[in-house]
Amino acid sequence: MTQMYESLGISREVYEYSEEILSGLKNRFQKIDEIAEYNQLKVIKAMQDARVSAECFESSSGYGYNDRGRDTLEEVYAKVFRTEAALVRPQITCGTHALAIALSANLRPGDELLSISGKPYDTLEEVIGIRPSRGSLAEYGVTYAQVDLRPDGSFDLENIRRAIRPQTKLVEIQRSKGYQTRPTLSVNQIGEAVAFVKSIRSDIICMVDNCYGEFVEISEPSEFGADMVVGSLIKNPGGGLAPAGGYIAGTKECVEQCAFRLTSPGLGREVGANFGVMQSFYQGLFLAPTVTAAALKGAIFAANAYEKLGFSVVPNGTEERHDIIQAITFGFPEGVIAFCEGIQAAAPVDSYVTPEPWAMPGYDSDVIMAAGAFVQGSSIELSADGPIKPPYAVYFQGGLTWPHAKLGIMKSLQRLYEKGLVSFPS
């Protein structure tokens, strides 16, 4: 084993440090495997109950009428998320698009959208119109209100009660911290917040941005009263195989509204060819529980390896996990750059290129990104990025297999070690 690692550029010091960290994580990894086992069974049961067959993988073109593969897949998703219905389509281009559909389909002029988990994910600012943008909900007369989480990361129930007005139509909750440093919300916490909102007005639609959270726990927010859960197929539920796509699972009413918005009034879910992606959608969902487990192990390994070296990490090494994102704060730019170089060097694709900080649209500083992915932009595959500005933090996620995630972290440690940025406690 050490020789194999050596052939990939891992020195004995990094290998031994890594093994020592990992020897303390056995119990946690076992719990992750148990969650994966439960979720794997859940997915298999859903596929069996929906009678998935080889015909479901057939390609369709044109209008896509009577697409059995597409319709059965949506049934499978509804079973997995324990909802009445689901919309799972390659025509949903990404997570932001899925969220934009869910919001614009269920809100009308004069309605108010209320976020109760603070500022939503960056890209939603333009969807909502927090930052003025063409085609935003604001342009269509949908207003927006926000209640921040309390300093300890819990829901601010008192202010939520105050913020709910007669025009409040939809409440948004973001499960993952995204690229903020607040804690990620657990499914339980989300369930309590949904119950609280419903106790004030039962007709308010509760939508959860579920990105990065799928299969991290044994249940999903839709099992605790959320009317819609929304996410991207190039994150957890696509299992690394889906080449694109998004999903919305929820009540029949909400999902129908989404279908009419996605395609056209009058057409709804009846149209939408599958272009041959069905096998990857099914097989990706089948793999998603173990792929998510691999990514989680990588995140926990990284947290513990870098915490012990003295860096601040969010979540910390021992915290319970509710999503797959790991933040590591280096405090100096060389750390961010060396980390990303290591992740890139561990990739199966494009391992020979060196990532460099660069100006990117939408960012106010240079950003460095590392990804050697089979699917472009896929962040369930091992990837890392960080803006080159204080506090010089890197955000890291994904890993289709645990050995690859492990190698990625080890290569990052190796890069920092070679540049003299860290030394290992003996």
Ligand X SMILES: *Cc1c(COP(=O)(O)O)cnc(C)c1O
Please give the helix or strand (H or E) that residue 248 lies within, else none. Answer: strand 246-250
Closest CB to ligand X among 209 and 220? Answer: 209
Edge-to-edge, what's the strand order for the sheet holding 85-89?
A: 85-89, 246-250, 228-232, 205-209, 168-174, 112-115, 143-146
Edge-to-edge, what's the strand order for the sheet holding 383-387?
A: 312-314, 326-329, 393-397, 383-387, 366-371, 358-359
Residue at shortest CB range from ligand X: 95
Q: Which residues bind ligand X (CB under 6 A)?
A: 94-96, 121, 123, 174, 176, 178, 209, 211-212, 232
Q: Provide the β-strand partners of residue 327.
A: 314, 395
Closest CB to ligand X among 140 and 179? Answer: 179
The CB-of-267 to ligand X minimum distance in angstroms stands at: 24
The CB-of-239 to ligand X minimum distance in angstroms stands at: 15
The CB-of-94 to ligand X minimum distance in angstroms stands at: 3
**Rounded CA separation 163/161 (Å):** 6
Closest CB to ligand X among 77 and 121? Answer: 121
Cβ contact 107:127 at 8 Å: no
The CB-of-51 to ligand X minimum distance in angstroms stands at: 31
**Rounded CA separation 323/175 (Å):** 8
Angle between helices 26-49 and 68-80 (to 10 degrees): 130
The CB-of-301 to ligand X minimum distance in angstroms stands at: 21
Cβ contact 183:222 at 8 Å: no
Strands 85-89 and 246-250: antiparallel
Q: Which pair of tokens denotes residue 297?
A: 């192990």
Task: Specify the amino acid at residue 120.
Answer: P
The CB-of-93 to ligand X minimum distance in angstroms stands at: 8
Closest CB to ligand X among 60 and 397? Answer: 397
Closest CB to ligand X among 90 and 268? Answer: 90
Closest CB to ligand X among 5 and 247? Answer: 247
